[in-house]
Each structure stands twice: as structure tokens, then as C-alpha cells.
Amino acid sequence: MPNFSRRTFLAGAASLALASRRSFAARSDLEPIYAEIKKRHQEAIERIQRWIHQPTIAAENVGGEEGVKLAMDLFGEAGFTNVTRIPTDGKPGIFAVYDAGAPRTVGLYFMYDVKQADASEWKLGDPWKASIVQKPGMGKCIIGRGAVNQKGPEAAFLAALHAIRGAGKKPPVNFVLVAEGEEEIGSPHFPQVVRAPQVMQALGKCMGIFMPSAGQAIDGTTDVTLGAKGVIEAQIISSGEKWGRGPSKDVHSSLRAMLDSPAFHLVQALGTLVTPDGVDPAIDGWFERVKPLSAAEKKMVADVVAHGNEQQMKDQFGVKHWERDVPFEQAMERLCGWPTVNIEGLVGGYTGQGGKTVLPHQAVAKMDFRLVPDMTVDDCLHKLRAHLDKRGFNDVEVVMTGGYDPNTTAPDAALIRAQEQTYRRAGQNPLLWPRGGGSWPGYVFTDAPLKLAAGHFGLGHGSGAHAPDEYFLVESENPKLFGLDDMVKSFVDYLHDLAAIRS
Amino acid sequence: MPNFSRRTFLAGAASLALASRRSFAARSDLEPIYAEIKKRHQEAIERIQRWIHQPTIAAENVGGEEGVKLAMDLFGEAGFTNVTRIPTDGKPGIFAVYDAGAPRTVGLYFMYDVKQADASEWKLGDPWKASIVQKPGMGKCIIGRGAVNQKGPEAAFLAALHAIRGAGKKPPVNFVLVAEGEEEIGSPHFPQVVRAPQVMQALGKCMGIFMPSAGQAIDGTTDVTLGAKGVIEAQIISSGEKWGRGPSKDVHSSLRAMLDSPAFHLVQALGTLVTPDGVDPAIDGWFERVKPLSAAEKKMVADVVAHGNEQQMKDQFGVKHWERDVPFEQAMERLCGWPTVNIEGLVGGYTGQGGKTVLPHQAVAKMDFRLVPDMTVDDCLHKLRAHLDKRGFNDVEVVMTGGYDPNTTAPDAALIRAQEQTYRRAGQNPLLWPRGGGSWPGYVFTDAPLKLAAGHFGLGHGSGAHAPDEYFLVESENPKLFGLDDMVKSFVDYLHDLAAIRS
């Protein structure tokens, strides 16, 4: 789920002056394309459904081969050429180009995998059936795993290319497309795709890269996010066997009188990772590379805070206080500018109903560490290891399961200025947000040697990524929300803004 | 599982000079009873099977009514009179007497419930079928839930009463029997059974009370345990809702930047409960009432250590060191004389495969606290609460799910001296052990006002309590282990020793 930004938290809380979607100010020169979009509405819906029908789940090793083939077919049908499978040590990536003979080239980042789905939890239908369901106060939605994350928005972008070609036109920019099939497991092999020489060379010509996304919150607001925190997901494991002190299997808990406890060993190791009040990272050297928010970034936060509803956010999370009772603005600055150490889950010993008198041989903390510029995954992993070693926790294992470096894109990048322009033309009043709290592998584009501007773009709405009943709105009855055709239009417009914006 | 003592740990490690079971020195005056035991062998086996066929599981609220009725029938058939159901706030208890016109009266503690059983884990057969299976190197065993814990041994005791009556004799002592159906969930209502006026009055006349048990370890050794540690089983719960600071539901982990973490709050609370090396309780005042082991108790430990095999024990648990690298004798002193704080299990947030980027709203530690004389459950719970409150963890809940005070019986109690005498006559060389590391509700008998001697008695062997393929040996091919008939004999002998021992 790459596009996790401020809006996700402010959903329902914004009090921005909202323009109706009906105010979408179409350009007259693009009218033939808009007409084609309308004509191809059903075709565009069916494309989304066709894609959802193919489950491709890296975490479960499901549908990989079918998934990569279908994605390559979809790209070819939309006009991409040189559609190439890029082998990796995991699922293959895809590389494709679209030469429109335009002066500028734009990068596209797609994923063809989806999160797992447990059909028994879905009230609105089979996750792979892609049924059309009427949602009250919203309109007709496609229900299915991947509907909003990310097949719906990606297929909407492909629909824009079909419409352009259907109207007898060429896209106003060229494209370089890179796709992966492991986004939902943390993109472990995506660098191998991007670092392939022909991919690297092609991306080097791009003015920036974006991922199609349904950018409207349920209240219709949209924002422009200038990067993402990095993340390390890791398991911290304390085991008696490794330690040589606790038991090597679960034993009767009376033996606690003579045997050490790997679970308490874990508790003590975890306790050293945060400040005594449990709030900030306390890992040796953790803040060495932390770059404070700039004055410009603080200004963006202040703008968002001025438009936000603090009490509504607190109610949404069920809290009475922000950490350390800091004021709202400072809490929001922490959200985009401060590293975190989080326990995602604790698992050890007996986890069933009631109790069981065992001394467990092992305990595990599932952790995530969010990173901000200029922290890096490698440096932080090294610091975490050194921190634990120094305190006598040499035996406590740190097993990284996924990680991204943070990424940042400048607000004055042409890619970003074009976004703002297109959003404003569509009646939106997008606020800038310095950095999403969630993470996506944008660093492979923003870091050297490519140093591309990177982001997400797309009007339209959907929700339920990673949850049951994921949906993507295709025919809107809500004046604040864009349906599929208007979303496709937003892509057409954006491409033209990208072609025209001063560099 | 009440009878959890030193032997469980020393199984296979003992190097005692073992007498063969064939040396059982029967008294000639009891020959008619012994003959009756042999004659009724099949009847005794069928009684055990009949009892196992009836699952009675308090934790799952299964078979309660059928279980209490069957137990009452079994007691009545064995010669008990006035078999009375004692209602409690949970499952009913049973009270019964057996007036043999003897000068002395002995108490009996029975349980009619069993631990849960997952049939899919049982290799040797349906847990409720009570099949007879040949176990290599051992002999014919009954397989089933409750086989050794505690229906087999209890039924063996009833078989002794049937044999005595069958031989035209009367038991040499009178009996007062109390039984419960909630032993496996920590006997929460057993005090209500014992405190019933007619039960209290009857128990007041007893020279002591014992529970029938299969007292032989797999190497044939037997010991005499003089009490049990107490225990508090409790869940320690940190929840955002209660705290008012963390989230009240699981939220995206990026929010960790502005929200407190109930999981880290738990980690920090747990960290205060033990010394910095994770070994000893560090709860304020926890050691105030701890009575050190007496010289006599230390002598018992030294005797056991002299007969034990330290390396074999270490290998069994997979450890290279005892806590704090203390020598074996000190570790064994801790096992019977030192309180513990143990994490049985940790559960919080995402506990599935891999990771999930959530900030959990709740985390729970399943704990047990072993108590030694003169600690009490009530006092310790109060101290734990005060300790947490003093450190700012007022919101962290402590929910006790079960608890026993410790209990102690003097080695010179007639009940104990008779045990040693019977065991020695059977060729055993029982060592005294000051206090089992496991727990049973003996405190309701040993504490004021009853102040009874209390323990377990019975030769014979079985294992797998609380585990799959629980068994009870009924026809032994192993010269070190007693089969069912010899076990029944041991009860007959013990009753006569109890009747004759100097008070």
C-alpha cells in the first residue's frame, strides 16, 4: 500500500473549501479524448475486473506467473513496446517503454501483486470476482482485492492511454514503465529491476516518476505528498538455545527458579530501545543522521494543521493526548519528521485462552522502525546491532524482513508543480505534505544515481487496502468524489500538464 | 496436575540403588486382600476406562453434570456413604465419608475433571477411548486424557477399597473424601467445598489428607514431597483505551510518531518486575515474608543433589548454566525455596506470519508468580498492584485467573512417616523433597483452621499429563515399575501403615 499519507488520518476531518467534481475544467483541445473516455467506460471497467480476477500474491506464492504475463499483456495492449520481463532473485519485474516522439519522458511505477485476502471476511463478495456494488452515499464500486491498491488506479491510467489512442492522438510525453510483483512483501528485489542497465538508462531520461493512485479521501480532499519515511521491518528474537541460558524448549514454569527466561531477556532488550517514557528511539546514535524539518516543511505542516480538526483525529484513534502531551502541530511534525521504534506484535510461549504454566524457550517482537532523511536502512541496522551487543544482548537476533530508505522530492520539481496544477484545474485545493508516514520503494528512484522526482497521482476514490471489502469507486453519486471517467480524465490532463510545465 | 515434584525433572537422571518391584514385601495378614486385587484386575482396568470415557473439562465447560454424577457413582460403589454434591459458584464439589469403625480417619482429595485434549495430536489413539496399548520397555498402558492425571491413580485407590471389601474385610481407617471438578483451571471454587460446615467438621477429625497418585518416575524412583509452592496466575494487560494514551484500536504503525505504544508500556512495566539481570523478583516488598529454607530442608536438597545428575538435567532443559551460574545445589535450593516471576506468554498486536505495520492498541503478558512460605496470594497481589501504581503503571491491569497459597507438611507428620514406611517396604528408597515447584490447592487443608498434613501417595507409573498420549501403566514388564495390581497393593499397605503408625 504505497500511497499512505496524511489524508488517511484526516479522512473526515478536513474542512477545506471543497469544489464539486462537476467543476472539472476540461480543456477544449482534449475534448475528443474525453469523448473517447466516456465511450470506453465499460471497456475500462472490464479491464479492472479482468485484472482483479487474477490473484497474484507474493506472500503466498500464488499466481506469480499468470500475474506477470497478464500485466505484460495489459501494458502491450495500452501501447507500450519492448515489454520485457526482468528476472530477479524473487518475482520478475517488468520494463516497458512508450515512445510517443515527445520531447519529455515520464517514468511510471506499477505493482502487479496484491495483498492476501481471506474470503470469509468479505461481506460484499468474493475478493476475486470484482463485483459491482452500489455503496450508499457513494455510487457504484468495484469490490475486490487490488481494487484500489493498485489495479483500479493503474488500469485507469491505462484507460487514459487507450482513450488517447482511440481519439487518434499520441500521448504528450513518452513513458518508461517499471513494475514489480513483490510490493506487498516490501519490494525485496525491486532494486534488481531498477538497476538492470537498460532500465537504468531509460529511467535516466525521465523528468520524474509516479504511480497512479486514487488520491481522494472520502471527504474528497487530495494532497500532494513529497516523499515517504523509510522503514525497517524486523523480528527481534530471544531464544534459550541461542542464548545458552534459558531452556531450549518450553518447560514447566516452576523451573523459572533455576533457569533464565528468554521472554524477560527480550523484554529487557526491548526496554533499551526507547526512552524511559516509551516515546522516542533510544538506540545509540539513532539521531546522528536525522535531518530536522526545514522551515518550508514546517510551514506545510502548519498549513495542514490550520485546516485539520485535532479533536476529530484524537477521537478517531481513541486517544486523549498526543505523545508527551505535545500540541497538535508538534505531533504532526513528528508524524512526518521524526523516527519511530514500534512493536507491531509480541509473540512468545503460550498465546491461547487463559494461562499455561510454561517457561517459554523463545519470544519474538515484530518491530518496525520508521526512518527519516538522511537515515538509511543499512546504517540503522548496524546501529541497532551495536546497541544490543553493547548491552549484553549479543544473542538476541535481529532478522530484517523488509526495508526501504526514506525518499524526498522537492516541492518545486516539475512533476510536483504539474500535479498541483492538474488538481487545481479539477477544483481541488491540494495541500503539500512533507513526507508520508507510510513507506514505498521510491528511494530507488530518488536516491543517486537516478535522483528522480517521485510521487503518486490520480483523482478518484477507493479504500480498504489490505482489509476486507476493498473497493474502487467507478460511478460516483457523491459530488465530492470522482468516478472512473473523471479519474481517467485527470490522467490525461496530468500528462498534458507534465508536457507543458516549465522545467 | 497436582503432583509435580522434583522427580519430574530428575526423570532418567537418578542413580539411586533401585530395588526390583518383585521385592514388594507383602504382609501375610493381607494375603486375602492381595488375592482379591489379582482377581479383580480386569474389573479395576474397566473402572479406569469407564471414567476416562467421560470427558469432564471445566476449561471448556464440557461434561460437568455427567462427570460429577459418574464420580459420585464411583464413590458410592466403592463403599462411601453420604455421597453429597456440594454446590459452588462454579462446578460442584463432592463430599463423602466411609465409616469403617476404625479409630483413625484419613482425608482423601480427588479431582473429577481433566485437562483439555486435542485428538488430532494423539498418536496412540482417541483420548476418550482408553485403549490398552503395549509400550516398549514398559508394558500394557491405558492411553487417554486423565489416565495418570488423575483418574487412573484415583481409580486404583477405589480398587483397593473394592478388594478390601471383596476379601470380607473393612478398611483399617475411616475416610473423608472431598473432590472437585475445577482442579485443571486452578480450583477457583474449591475453598467453597472445603469450607462447607459438614465438610469442615469431618475433615477436622482427619490425621491428614492425601491424593492418590502414580508416584514413580520412569526410572522407578519415588520421593516424598512435603508441600508445594503457591502460585498466582495472572494476565498483565496494557491497553490504549484504559491508558487514554495509546490508540483504542490497532492503527497504522506510522502513527507511532504521535501516539504512545501500549506494547512498549507493557514492556516497561514488565521490566520493573525483575532484577536487572532478569533473574529475581524485584517487586516492592516481595521478599518480606519469604522464609528461608531450614537447615533440615537444606539437608534434604543436599541429599537429592548427591543422588542427582547435574549434567543430565542441564541437557534435558538445553541449558549450559543455571541462573547466575550458581552451583547445582543452590539452583535446587532455589527450585524449592525461592519465589519466581515468570512470563508464560506474550501476546500483542499482529501475531501471524511475517510482519504487519500496525501500532497495537493492547498487549498482554500471561504471568505466573510462584510463592513460598509465608507469602500469600492476597498479600502478593496487593504488593504487585502497589508496585505498578508507584511506577506510573496505574492503568496496567492485573487480572488473576487462578491462585494457591503455598503449603507445607512437616516431615514428622504421621501421614508422611507412614508414606516412607510403605515405600521402603515396597523396595523404594524415597528421598524427602521440601517443596514441589508446581502447585496444588493443598493450602486449604494445611492452613488454619484445619492445619492438616497433606500430600500425595501411590506407587505405579504414568506420564503425559496435559500432553498428548497421556498413559497409565497397568501391566508392567519393567522390573523398576509397578503395574496396576502392585499399585493397588501399595494403597492397601499404606492404609494399614496409616492405621498402625505411632501418632
**A484 in Cβ contact with A156 (< 8 Å):** yes
* Residue A365, domain member (yes or no): yes
Q: In sequence order, which ranges of A187-288 are alpha helices (DSSP H)?
A: 190-194, 197-203, 240-243, 262-271
Q: Which of A404, A422, A449 is the last residue of a domain?
A: A404
Ordered DSSP codes for A123-179: SSS-TTT--EEEETTTEEEEESTTIIIIIHHHHHHHHHHHHHHHTT---SSEEEEEE
Which is nearest to A382 in space by CA: A234, A166, A201, A216? A234
Same domain, residue pair B217 and B200: yes
**A16 in Cβ contact with A323 (< 8 Å):** no
Same domain, residue pair B109 and B153: yes
Find all residues with CB under 8 Å of A149, minimum gap 6, and list them.
A1, A114, A115, A462, A465, A466, A470
Same domain, residue pair B130 and B247: no
* Residue A305, domain member (yes or no): no
The whole-model pTM stands at 0.88
Same domain, residue pair B444 and B356: no
Reduce the secondary structure of B287-318 to three states and give it as a string: CCCCCCCCHHHHHHHHHHHHHCCHHHHHHHHC
**A306 in Cβ contact with A327 (< 8 Å):** no
Local structure of B72: helix, strand or coil? helix
How many residues belong to chain A?
503
What cell numbers appear for B87 in the block?
454446590
Same domain, residue pair A50 and A171: yes
Which is nearest to A233 in space by CA: B457, B355, B44, B8? B355
Whole-number Å distance between alpha carbons of A64 and B180? 58
- What pLDDT is attached to residue A184? 86
CB distance A4–B350 less than 8 Å?
A: no
Phi, psi of A323 (to 5 degrees): -50, 135
Same domain, residue pair B156 and B238: no
* Residue B331, domain member (yes or no): no
Question: Which chain A residue is nearest to residue B356, measuring alpha carbons?
Answer: A344
* Residue B312, domain member (yes or no): no
Residue range A163-195, pLDDT digits in tens: 999 999 999 999 999 999 999 888 989 999 999
The CB-side HSE value for A262 (13 A sphere, CA atoms) comes to 34
Could you tell me the pLDDT band of residue A121, with boundaries at 50, 70 and 90? confident
* Chain A contact for B240 (CB, 8 A cutoff): yes
Whole-number Å distance between alpha carbons of A406 and A446? 9
The answer to whether the bond into B374 is cis (omega within 30° of 0) is yes
Same domain, residue pair A155 and A94: yes
- What pLDDT is attached to residue A166? 98
What cell numbers appear for B201 in the block?
467438621
**Nearest-neighbour CA in chain A from B453: distance (Å):** 23
- What pLDDT is attached to residue B5? 46
- What pLDDT is attached to residue B12? 34
The answer to whether the bond into A434 is cis (omega within 30° of 0) is no
Higher pLDDT, A133 or B118: A133
Which bin fits B263, alpha (ψ -120 to 50), beta or left (φ > 0)?
alpha
Strand-pair category, B174-180 with B105-111: parallel
Whole-number Å distance between alpha carbons of B222 and B433? 11
**A337 in Cβ contact with A204 (< 8 Å):** no
Least confident interval from A146-160, A203-217, A384-398, B2-16: B2-16
Whole-number Å distance between alpha carbons of B292 and A323? 45
Whole-number Å distance between alpha carbons of A254 and B323? 13
Please give the ipTM for the structure prediction.
0.89
Q: Which of A404, A425, A459 is the last residue of a domain?
A: A404
What cell numbers appear for B335 in the block?
527450585
**pLDDT of residue A245 exceeding 70:** yes
Same domain, residue pair A212 and A239: no
**pLDDT of residue A5 exceeding 50:** no
- What pLDDT is attached to residue B26? 53
Give the residue carrying C-alpha cell 483418574. B151
Mean pLDDT of the region A478-500: 97
Chain A residues with CB inside 8 Å of B351's CB? 345-347, 351, 366
Could you tell me the pLDDT band of residue A249, with boundaries at 50, 70 and 90? confident
CATH of the domain at A394: 3.30.70.360
Mean pLDDT of the region A459-472: 90
- What pLDDT is attached to residue A26? 53
**Nearest-neighbour CA in chain A from B247: distance (Å):** 5
Residue range A22-65, pLDDT digits in tens: 334 457 789 999 999 999 999 999 999 999 999 999 988 999 99
* Chain B contact for A327 (CB, 8 A cutoff): no
* Residue B409, domain member (yes or no): no
* Residue A26, domain member (yes or no): yes
Which member of B244, B264, B346 has the closest CB to residue A349? B346
Question: Which parts of chain B sit beneath pLDDT 50?
Answer: 1-25
Q: Which of A384, A404, A424 is the last residue of a domain?
A: A404
CATH of the domain at A181: 3.40.630.10
- What pLDDT is attached to residue B33? 97
* Residue A38, domain member (yes or no): yes
Same domain, residue pair A76 and A205: yes
Question: Which chain B residue is nearest to residue A252, measuring alpha carbons?
Answer: B438
* Domain span including residue A80: 19-227+409-500
* Percent of chain A with pLDDT strictly greater than 70: 95
- What pLDDT is attached to residue A178? 98
Whole-number Å distance between alpha carbons of B396 and B348? 14
Which is nearest to A235 in space by CA: B263, B342, B351, B258? B351
Residue range B230-264, pLDDT digits in tens: 999 999 999 999 998 899 988 889 999 999 999 99
Chain B residues with CB inside 8 Å of A349's CB? 343-346, 366
- β-partners of residue A274 are A281
* Residue B152, domain member (yes or no): yes
* Chain A contact for B398 (CB, 8 A cutoff): no
List the single best residue of B253, B364, B368, B391 to mutate versus A (max A Cβ within 10 A): B253
- What pLDDT is attached to residue A331? 97
Chain A residues with CB inside 8 Å of B276's CB? 268
**A180 in Cβ contact with A111 (< 8 Å):** yes
The answer to whether the bond into A421 is cis (omega within 30° of 0) is no
What cell numbers appear for A278 in the block?
516509551
**Nearest-neighbour CA in chain A from B330: distance (Å):** 9
Local structure of B259: helix, strand or coil? coil
Chain A residues with CB inside 8 Å of B370's CB? 253-254, 256-257
Same domain, residue pair B163 and B270: no
CB distance A318–B258 less than 8 Å?
A: no
Number of domains, chain B: 2
Same domain, residue pair B212 and B254: no
Same domain, residue pair B99 and B184: yes
The angle formed by the CA atoms of residues B454, B458 and B459, to the nearest 5 degrees, is 145
